[in-house]
Amino acid sequence: MKAPSEKFDLQSYMTRGVEHVVADAIKATLKNPRESAFMLKFASASKAASKKRRKSEENGEHIPPFLIASITSSCNLHCVGCYSRGIDSCCDEKPQNQLSAAEWDKVFSEAEEIGISFIFLAGGEPLIRRDVIEQAANHPKILFPIITNGTLLDRYSDILDRNRNLVPVISIEGDKEKTDTRRGEGMYKTIGDRMDELNRKGIAFGASVTVTKENLAEVYSESFLEKLSSRGCKLVIFIEYVPVEKGTEELAPTDAERELMEKLILERRQRFEDMLMIEFPGSEKHYGGCLAAGRGFFHINSHGGAEPCPFSPYSDVNIRNMSLRDAMKSPLFAALQSGGILADDHNGGCVLYEKRRQVEELLKHS
């Protein structure tokens, strides 16, 4: 991958991308009056946030539109190949010294103030932290996709119905065999039951799919997406597999397969106009390299460390000791953005994971 051109305007590119996401979300919710009404209000808030980011850019400060917040390190499942367990950032017991609900609320308030429009709530299993979910609900100008395994969703029907800025995104691997093999026996049925319940109550939800060589053909197929659509799914996030476990490198899509994925998603978006489809990390060649480390997004772990992304668990600053705005000025982030690593050629879905030794060296000197 070539280094990004000096003429490339990342802020404008990201703003257009956000506008397209919001427009597609409005289109996807047209048949649901409550969701559509919320998305129209959010569109206005998102436009105001874009103006804040543009003003900051003019003053020499880059603010990304996205943030990933891992609000807990606890999880109630043991999924095969889980990146979070693979990098030792996830556990069974309640972790010590996690950010409190009040501290997360401060993060959300500061994010809204500087123009961040989307905060992905992740984990562990984020629905373990109802206290944090309730704080997120109080920020309707921010959209919170909640990346969940779905097992605890039956406890959240009321809060999801009242607060349409909370959008559950349920992880699924494809058919019953693939989902149960990775996530545990019976999980495919549990996921289906949760989707059906949300659909009956008119609550918008999405699906998150980890894409490997083994399930690529299925999860991009019209039949798979048709099943999701028939259950009321309005959002699909395709996450390219990162081989954090030794021996799984062959599961990561190749360059040729990534090109196929890009072609297929364009075709599927035309076929399923009532579904919003997003790829992560997506086609990096269009935006000058990886968008981590504050270019397009960054990650806050459950203990407050600001990290380049969930797959790159390195931090030199903590939001407990500074504002969100100051955390984005992390020396590590600055070194990654200026050092060319984010635009390097790489195999698999994550340049920072593949080049983690270089990131560790930068951390030593940040």
Residue 13 has a pLDDT of 72
Residue with the larger pLDDT of the pair 128 and 356: 128
Residue with the larger pLDDT of the pair 249 and 260: 260
Residues 10-19 have pLDDT tens digits of 788 778 888 8
> Residue 203's Cα: distance from chain center in Å?
20
Residue with the larger pLDDT of the pair 8 and 129: 129
Q: Where are the domains of the chain?
A: 64-364
How many angstroms separate the CA atoms of 72 and 301, rounded? 8
Residues 41-92 have pLDDT tens digits of 999 999 999 999 999 999 999 999 999 999 999 998 888 877 777 776 777 7
CB 80 within 8 A of CB 181: yes
Of 349, 38, 63, the C-alpha closest to 203 is 38
Lowest mean pLDDT across 11-15, 135-139, 222-226, 261-265: 11-15
Residue 255 has a pLDDT of 83
Residue 1 has a pLDDT of 40
Cα dihedral: 41, 43, 47, 50 (round 10)? 120
103, HSE (Cβ side, Cα atoms, 13 Å): 20
Residue 325 has a pLDDT of 96
Which residue shows structure tokens 């003429």? 7
**CATH top-level class for 64-364?**
alpha beta
Whether the per-residue pLDDT at 103 is higher than 90: the answer is yes
How many angstroms separate the CA atoms of 39 and 118, rounded? 13
